[in-house]
Structure 1
């Protein structure tokens, strides 16, 4: 009778080496954080205020 670990693997597959703590941090925390920040900066740059120099007051944004 096989052990539980052998039952979870498909036939012909072998488990590789585990990740180190640094690799785990880099793959599952640092890389997603960098990707999130990069996407946020790109979206902010593309959708930021385009009329910074003009004084276009609106009834919605100012009180007279």
Structure 2
């Protein structure tokens, strides 16, 4: 992070880049595991409810700096 002085004696910290690391993949694996466990135990796949409520264009816009 770069340190930039702001007005009024306050300092601001600016982020040049935010890394999500493997956390997004780990979250996806957790959903897949819950869905598989539910499918095996109950024969349903409610764990995936709402999983398709986005589109890639929207996701790309959210991740754009």
TM-score range, shorter chain: 0.3 to 0.5
Q: Which has the higher contact order (CA 8 A, sep 6+)?
A: 2
More strand by share: 2
TM-score (norm. length: structure 2): 0.36
| Higher Cα radius of gyration | 1
